[in-house]
Amino acid sequence: MNFYNNFTNKHLKIAHRGYRSIRPENTLSAFEASIGKFDFIELDIQVTKDLELVVFHDYKLERTTNINKNKNFPFNGSYNIYDYTLEELRLLDIQNWFIKDDPFGKIKKGKVTKEELKSLTKQAILTVDDILLFAQTNNIALNIELKDCDCIEDELFVSKLLSCIDKHNIKIPLLISSFNDNYLKIIKEKSHNIATAINIENKHPEDLINYVNSLNVQSYHCAVNIATPSVVKRLIDAGFVVNVFTVNDEKKASELFDMGIKSIFTDYCLECTS
Ligand code: G3P
Ligand code: CA
């Protein structure tokens, strides 16, 4: 099944880590705020010390948790997510930092109401099971990004995610992406028919089309600064869907859609349609 056949909109807007300009990223509140405003949700997956899969972007916990202020977590030299069990991580609050830091200036601009701020009460880190069940209940498609995790064998990491998906009999459209192409190869080796996508940050790979063909992915996700018209055209001519991250500007979004890209990963609820 082609993941993109599930959508009627010509151009798609992806909630990058949820609707993270008005809610703390990768939280239930950011995912709830995305419903009805984006075509699908992107989120990041990592592994804990006890090999549970959790929804979290940074490899370290300081930026988006209250770990610095929690007496249960004395500083141990670094606050790596993989040094803690799921039970320990669940003691951390992943919302309050957003109110203090206002990373997109939306609170200052009055775009988050007082009532909404009040509703941002203590929230714990989500597991993959939590987000899969949330998406199934709300009938929203997901792009699950597997972060590059050194603390677990590649095969085990991928198998754990696929088992969660199979265990819950998830029927909503799913797309698994990663910067680590070995994860994508393992999914295909397992003959799992889930759609996959490669993420590229700084430089397009040598022998681009052969490389993307070899991965058997449905889409190519690249950073906005390397999404040039010539590369986008080559990929589209070869039959690939191109999605671009992270686009928070309407003019840039329209320019990219006119170039032929399918989707933007965005932190904002942009109005542009072409
Ligand atoms: O998957 C696209 C984008 O999310 C990759 O960058 O750092 O936001 O995970 P990052
Ligand atoms: Ca991501």
Is-contact 196 184, C-beta < 8 A?
Answer: yes
How far lies 115's CA from each of 65, 107, 108, 111, 118, in Å? 22, 12, 15, 11, 5
At residue 44, φ and ψ (nearest 5 deg) are: -115, 140
Chain Cα centroid distance, residue 55: 9
How far lies 267's CA from each of 31, 64, 82, 125, in Å? 12, 16, 26, 20
Is-contact 190 165, C-beta < 8 A?
Answer: no
Task: Name the residue of 12, 13, 14, 16 whose CB sits within 8 Å of the most ligand 1 atoms, as the mutation to test its pocket.
Answer: 16
What is the DSSP pairing of strand 40-47 with strand 53-55? Answer: antiparallel
pLDDT tens digits along 192-240: 789 999 999 999 999 999 999 999 999 999 999 999 999 999 999 999 9
Ligand 1 midpoint to CA 57 (Å): 8
Report the interhelical angle of 128-138 vs 154-167 (nearest 10°): 40
Q: Report which of 225, 267, 227 is spatially closest to residue 243, judged by C-alpha positions.
A: 227
pLDDT tens digits along 77-92: 899 999 999 999 999 9
User: Is residue 42 lining ligand 1, measured as CB closer than 6 Å?
Assistant: yes
Q: Report which of 222, 230, 228, 236 is spatially closest to residue 179, judged by C-alpha positions.
A: 222
pLDDT tens digits along 89-139: 999 999 999 999 999 999 999 999 999 999 998 899 999 999 999 999 999
Q: Is the pLDDT of residue 60 over 60?
A: yes
Task: Name the residue of 13, 25, 41, 44 whose CB sits within 8 Å of the most ligand 1 atoms, as the mutation to test its pocket.
Answer: 44
Ligand 2 midpoint to CA 54 (Å): 13
56-60, 65-69, 119-123, 140-144: the lowest-pLDDT one:
119-123
Q: Report which ligand 1 atom has the smallest distance to the Cα of 265.
A: 2
Mean pLDDT across the stretch 136-159? Answer: 97
Ligand number nearest to the C-alpha of 220: 1
Which pLDDT score is estimated for 264?
98
Alpha helices (runs of H) in the chain, residue ranges in sequence order: 28-34, 86-89, 96-101, 114-119, 128-138, 154-167, 181-189, 208-215, 229-237, 250-259
The number of beta carbons lying within 10 Å of the beta carbon of residue 232 is 20
- Block residue for tokens 């998906």: 165
Q: What is the mean pLDDT of the chain?
A: 96
Is-contact 266 14, C-beta < 8 A?
Answer: yes
